[in-house]
Amino acid sequence: MNPANKKIGKPGVTASDDTNLAEEVLRQSGKGSAEVEAVGTIDRADEVFEKTLEARFRTSESPVAKGVFGNSPLRLFAPHARPAGFAEKPAYLQVMAACIDIVAAHNEAGTLFDEKEKISDVCIRDLSEAGYFGLLIDPEFGGEGALLSDFMPFLTEMAAKGDATTAGLASIHGCIGAVDPLIGFGSDEQKARFLPKLASGGALSAFALTEPNAGSDLTQLRTTAVLDGDDYVVNGRKLFISNIRPGRTIGLVAMIDGKHAVLIVDLPAEENEHFQLDKYEIHAVRHIYNYGIVFKDLRVPKANLLVPPVGDGLTVAYHGLNRGRIALCANASGVMRTLLAAMLPWADYRVTYGDKIASRELVQRRIAHAASRIVGADALVAWCSSLLDQGYRGELECIIAKVFGSESLKEVAIEDALKTLGGRSLLKGSIVGDNIHDLLAPMIYEGEGEVLAMAFFKGLIKDPGNSYMGPVMAAMAASGVEMKYLLKWRGGKTLAQVGKLLKPANFLRLVRASLPMAGWIFRTESRFGDFQSVSEVNPKLRRHAKFALKNFTRLAKRIERAMLKYQVALADRQLQMVQMSMAVQRTVTMLAVVQYATERGDEATIAAADVLCRDLTMQLVGGLPDDGYFRACTKLARLVSDGKFTQLAGVPQATILRQYDQK
């Protein structure tokens, strides 16, 4: 069995009914009960999911958390070795290669899409027969049992050499659709009933979570499932559900007795009075079906309810999201390859003032930028997927991959490809113009980037918050102190809180509670950098590794000081949280890419990693590009133009539109 496909959960772990730190922070800062309850619901679900994991795989022990708040070994930022029992070249790699050939052949024959511009039924049939939809399902249920560290790079290759939408279809089906919830949380009976048809492609899947009034805030879900005999009766609406058609099998998140739950639903073969599609026109994902769903007394067997050993439906939803975030980055990397492959022939064709624009420094910087982002995305995909294969939760790491992949795709599409191709990027048939919405939409898939940045930051500081700030908050509450009156001068109310603190019993309680925090502050402030050896890193990239390791120390102090400065008000300092979050994300990306490039070892990949690290360093410390940076870009661009950037091997080059006589 693939380690990433093991059933989730430990017996005996239950959610606590005690107030958690997130709730107490909001309450002390004066937030209303509705916000306190909503945030508490999400935070409790996160805590319960954490407890299902072995301690060494939890967020507090993740490479990112250990890097910021300790001295994380450099090797933790490199892809891990394959789990024991997996061949270096498993048989399913042949299945993957065959699937890419199938899609490429349909693309060539003009049969990839049907008359509605959706992925054709004949292509889906051919992919089903080849084993495409069972890649992540264990062999006992008719699948291939692929490792994520093989599956995710395959998505990149499919997007680059086959079709990005088809790659996305595999991600929806296997990572965020019904497959992952069943693998992780389904009973033996449920797996035996659903997984074989999902593996064969007899049923494709989707995940119905988003609602008209509920996106990032999952506490606003209104779809309900009420038990009636042997069935749940479902009512409600869903919105923006990709890969949804009658007859498909979905994971449905609904409220049961006021709690989130997940039902596996075999949708009716046709729309009826109980199940209807809410159809609308949408700019993005035009090659797959994306509709809303309306449920009116739809009956679903109660045997289809997923019952996680701990937590509720949010526990189930959280699990698949991390896979989906890596898949998004993998797909983005493939699409960036196609954009770069479209830029190169045009740069070699277009002549201005007697020279090809490929020789111009401006265009060379764009080529270098695109290549560097491809290598960065590949590095994060390799690293994050190997972490999940090992059993890590990967919450922080997968957010980094998602944000980097989607933002890089936007930059390469707009700043590099569109500007280089000029007016031709707006013509019908242009990879940019024809796909502009799909190039931008990933920024909001699997969580909008800045919202995820805040979630990343909250996840990062949760353990030190609980360990060091939590006891202080509890002491304050036990003393009857209201923090909101201490954070801002409010006359007599503030003086009253100070008076409470100065009472001997309260003062002693606070001092005792503050001792662990004082120790943490001392340890953080006394750090002077990370001096571990970077000799294993390629010599051309060692300075970047040293900078990133040292920057962790700076970031630890910056985060600790922000927690002390803003205290319970930090929850409202969204821009501060995003800024600190992105600083950590960029630092981590540097370490992941230098490790990845070192392992690959070829000149072009190392040059791309160097350019990316230079860019990230400037974003972290400020400053302007210098001549050394420009030379690095020129060198990388020439390597790409000369065919040394092997990441483009096999990627079709775009046809130059509106060619002209160059004489």
Instruction: Please tell me the predicted confidence (pLDDT) of residue 5.
Output: 62
pLDDT tens-digit map of 300-321: 999 999 998 877 888 888 788 8
- Both tokens of 114, joined, read 């049907």
Q: How far is CA 174 from CA 197, 256, 266, 283, 507, in A?
A: 13, 25, 16, 24, 55
Residue 42 has, within 13 A of its CA and on its CB side, a CA count of 16
Instruction: Please tell me the predicted confidence (pLDDT) of residue 323.
Output: 95
Per-residue HEC secondary structure of 396-426 comes to HHHHHHHHHHHHHHHHHHHHHHHHHHHHHHH
Q: How far is CA 319 from CA 6, 29, 47, 114, 153, in A?
A: 12, 31, 13, 34, 20
Q: For residue 27, is pLDDT > 80?
A: no
The conformation of residue 236, written as its DSSP 8-state character, comes to E
CA distance 589 to 402: 12
- Both tokens of 204, joined, read 């494709």
CA-closest candidate to residue 153, choices 401, 331, 390: 331
**CATH domain 205-306 topology:** Butyryl-CoA Dehydrogenase, subunit A; domain 2 (2.40.110)
Q: For residue 54, is pLDDT > 80?
A: yes
Instruction: Please tell me the predicted confidence (pLDDT) of residue 197.
Output: 98
Task: Give the residue-averaged pLDDT of 283-293.
Answer: 96
The model's confidence at residue 16, banded by pLDDT at 50, 70 and 90, is very low
Residue range(s) occupied by CATH 1.10.540.10 in the chain = 92-200
Q: Which residue has the tokens 């992925």?
A: 119
Question: SS3 of 644, please?
Answer: coil
Are 261 and 317 in contact by the 8 Å Cβ rule? The answer is no
Q: For residue 76, is pLDDT > 60?
A: yes
pLDDT tens-digit map of 372-411: 999 999 999 999 999 999 999 999 999 999 999 999 999 9
Per-residue HEC secondary structure of 76-96 comes to HHCCCCCCCCCCCCCCHHHHH
User: What do you get for the CA distance between the two ends of the chain, in Å?
Assistant: 63
Residue range(s) occupied by CATH 1.20.140.10 in the chain = 19-74+311-663
Q: For residue 12, is pLDDT > 80?
A: no
Task: Give the residue-averaged pLDDT of 59-81.
Answer: 91
The model's confidence at residue 15, banded by pLDDT at 50, 70 and 90, is very low
Residue range(s) occupied by CATH 2.40.110.10 in the chain = 205-306
Highest average pLDDT, of 33-37, 84-88, 503-507, comes from: 503-507
CA-closest candidate to residue 457, choices 588, 290, 364, 595: 588
Q: Which residue type is seen at 241?
A: I
Instruction: Please tell me the predicted confidence (pLDDT) of residue 10.
Output: 44
pTM recorded for the entire structure: 0.94
Buried b (16+ CB within 10 A) or exposed e, 148-167: bbbbbbbbbbbbbbbbbbbb
Question: SS3 of 202, please?
Answer: coil
Strand partners, 278: 292
Are 585 and 406 in contact by the 8 Å Cβ rule? The answer is no
Other C-beta atoms closer than 10 Å to the C-beta of 241 total 23
- pLDDT, mean over the chain: 92
Q: For residue 92, is pLDDT > 70?
A: yes
pLDDT tens-digit map of 479-535: 888 777 776 777 888 888 888 888 998 889 989 999 999 999 999 999 988 888 999
- Both tokens of 403, joined, read 């944000």
- Kindly report the CATH number that applies to the domain delimited by 19-74+311-663: 1.20.140.10
CA distance 250 to 241: 10
CA distance 189 to 634: 59
User: What class, spelled out in words, does domain 92-200 have in CATH?
Assistant: mainly alpha
Share of the chain above pLDDT 90, in %: 76
Which carries the bigger pLDDT value, residue 284 or residue 314? Answer: 284
- Backbone dihedral region for residue 203 (phi beyond 0: left; psi -120 to 50: alpha; all else: beta): beta
Instruction: Please tell me the predicted confidence (pLDDT) of residue 18.
Output: 56
- Both tokens of 7, joined, read 């059933």
Q: For residue 654, is pLDDT > 80?
A: yes
